[in-house]
A and B are shown apart, each in its own frame.
Chain A
Amino acid sequence: MKLSNNIVILDNGAFSIKTGTTSSKTSKKNTNHPRVIPNAIVRSKGDKTTYFGHEIENCRDYSSLHYRLPFEKGYIVDWDAQKAIWDGVFSDQILNINTTESSLILTEPYFNLPNIQEVYDQFVFEEYEFSSYHRCTPASLIPYGTLFNTPDLLSSPPECMVIVDSGFSFTHVVPILNGNVVWGAVKRLDVGGKLLTNQLKELVSYRQWNMMDETFIMNDVKETCCYVSENFSKDLETARLDVKSNPIVQEYILPDMSTNRRGHVRQLTDIVSDSDQILFMNNERFTVPEIIFRPDDIGLDQSGLAATISVSISLLPEDLQGMFWANIGLIGGNCKFPGFRKRLLSELQSLVPEDNEIVIYECNDPITEAYHSALSFATGPHFSGRTVTRAEYQESGTTRRKFRDWKNPPPPPPIDHRGIIEDDLTQTSNDERPPPVQATGNKSIKSRVRGNVPSNNRPSRR
């Protein structure tokens, strides 16, 4: 199958779209960095204009913005809004591509509903007429990326990994075995960045200024000031101290519309004028991200992230669980909170059975990690075998049974999974599934011998 010259990668998140292409046209700019475009239509009452996606950077008045999001609780419900934003992405304002001559890699949420998946296909093939496309979840792309790379070992990803994807809508724990998601063990925690921002709005509105309408500003406050505390009780006590001796409290100076100054944390050298409005961030700084680890703080009856990971791994084959504990990867915006990894590690230490070692991998930018992994996948040898072409879609009217997902899992491997898995280059995307004699892994993955498992003292990748 002839591969299109141009492969478009669209990591379609609920908060932001990470997008870019593999073509040489954009190689003049740095292809290593995707365009990150807010996935929202924003109406500014002050400016009296509506901004689609990336246009929000032209907005002058950030107060009382009205958001229209295509996503609801993590799934696309408003296709009108999504199309409006995608039109802008494919136009000459962002990617400037001809969709009819391009291939597409598109990410979908975990457990995407079949009726919604149909609409994804309809838009890709009937509206934008892409020549071929591949639709998958962000975690399934991670094995092609560099999240688990270490300087000393060869650059091949581990057979067993657990991806923690903590994004805008929710948090998923996704175990991946030999490059395939183990759907029976995937668990979802209904706490995401959106809930955290809204909770912060409520706390601040009750205690200081009414910020219930100020999603944009409070999102910025959350990203600037919030952190995950290592010891919740201790920090809570420290936060009770008065301002002078309290190392936790931060003063966030709210943005000023008239002078067009962005909001920022007050430094010691700043001079504060009377007209500045100041937000005092005290225990809000760490009680808000705490919700990921203790959802019952706000009454949500679900286990915290550490317990969820423990439950997820316990659903996997017992003899492999140790390897999963040793390969936990973090992606998604919420992993950027300072102290996230440390707190997760300490909570997991008390949950792990039999003193297995726990290694948590993180990357420099958890938001674009799925994008970079998709880029490696697109430029690799296995991409062309995993796409559905427009002709195939028009012939069969559906892409059902062509993309692997929760209702279409790969057949289980017939050989011992601790041995070497054969490379499966002949895997095609025909309707007829190949007989389950070959292994399911799509790349040659050498098994990792137990003796090579590194010690606990490996420094985390930052």
Chain B
Amino acid sequence: MPPKRTRPKSARQVNNASLITPDVIAKRTKRHLDELERSNYAEPGLDVGEDEEESGKSFKGRARQVISDKRNLNLSGNSPAAKKKKSTMNVRTALLYRKNLATLIEESGIASMPSSIPTYLTARTPPSSYPPRLICSVCGYWGRYKCQKCALPYCDQGCEAVHVETRCERRVI
């Protein structure tokens, strides 16, 4: 019998291989962990909606509104905060130009400090010495099997069906 469908088969296999490489999985996990650190939920597909809202304002010319001026409060004393006087240059700069944490870490220069000084970067706890245990991505029980296409774990055929229907491959970049 002549070999049938070998080329389409191997093409499909090549497709499968590109979907489950470890760096694709790592990228997916990293994206998930970043999502877990967000303050407000943005639909996936909308590009970084939260940050744009803030930085967009600063590009509209430097007359950016500061939200802290919008309050009507009574503070006692003669400080600039209380009297609504003009604040110092340092304070005004800090209020108007908001930097994210990655920028601040770079600017602080802690990455180039000598190794004898403990810093935010060195204080991270070491990686786990045990392999991770797999949890079913659908129901939360032990994930004994992994999806062939996207390597997410599931526990039984019922959960596999749900997974394939809803989430499979959608989280793979």
Contact = CB atoms under 8 A, between A and B. Distances in A.
> Are A and B a genuine interacting pair, yes or no?
yes
Interface of A: 41, 52, 66-69, 72-73, 75, 77-81, 83-84, 86-88, 90-93, 96-101, 110-111, 113-116, 119, 122-123, 126-129, 172-173, 183-184, 186-190, 194-195, 198-199, 201-203, 206-207, 212-213, 215, 236, 239-240, 282-284, 287, 294-304, 307-308, 311, 406-407
A195 B36 CA distance: 5
Given A78-B98, A81-B67, A307-B129, A99 B108 contact: no
A308 B128 CA distance: 9
B110 interface: yes
Given A77-B100, A80-B66, 20 more contacts: A77-B98, A81-B68, A84-B68, A84-B70, A87-B81, A99-B81, A113-B104, A113-B105, A113-B120, A115-B108, A116-B104, A184-B118, A189-B125, A194-B36, A206-B166, A283-B140, A294-B132, A298-B33, A299-B33, A406-B119
Q: Which 5 A-B pairs have CB atoms at the shortest separation, nearest pair first?
A: A296-B132, A84-B68, A98-B77, A299-B29, A129-B79
Nearest to A85: B68
B107 interface: yes
Contacts of B90: 119, 122, 126
Given A100-B77, A113-B120, A188-B123, A84 B71 contact: yes
Given A113-B108, A114-B108, A198-B35, A301 B128 contact: yes
Nearest to A82: B68
B80 A198 contact: no
Contacts of B80: 126-127, 129
A298 B140 CA distance: 11
Nearest to A79: B94
A90 to B, nearest CB: 6
A198 B37 contact: yes
Contacts of A287: 135, 140
A99 B79 contact: yes
A329 B113 CA distance: 31
A113 B75 contact: no
A87 B68 contact: yes
B81 A187 contact: no
A84 B95 CA distance: 10
B88 interface: yes
A183 B76 CA distance: 39
B119 A123 contact: no
Contacts of B139: 207, 283
A202 B38 CA distance: 12
B108 A127 contact: no
Contact of A119 (B94, B96, B141, B142): B94
B99 interface: yes
B100 A303 contact: no
Interface residues of B, number: 65
Nearest to A121: B90
Interface string B87-129: 1101100111011110011011010010001111001111111
B41 interface: yes
Given A87-B71, A240-B141, A283-B141, A198 B36 contact: yes
Contacts of B138: 206-207
B74 interface: yes
B128 A296 contact: yes
A66 B33 CA distance: 20
Contact of A115 (B35, B104, B132): B104
B170 to A, nearest CB: 12
A81 B69 CA distance: 10
10 contacts: A83-B81, A87-B73, A97-B76, A101-B77, A111-B118, A115-B104, A127-B80, A188-B120, A194-B37, A202-B36
B87 A126 contact: yes
Contacts of A236: 140-142
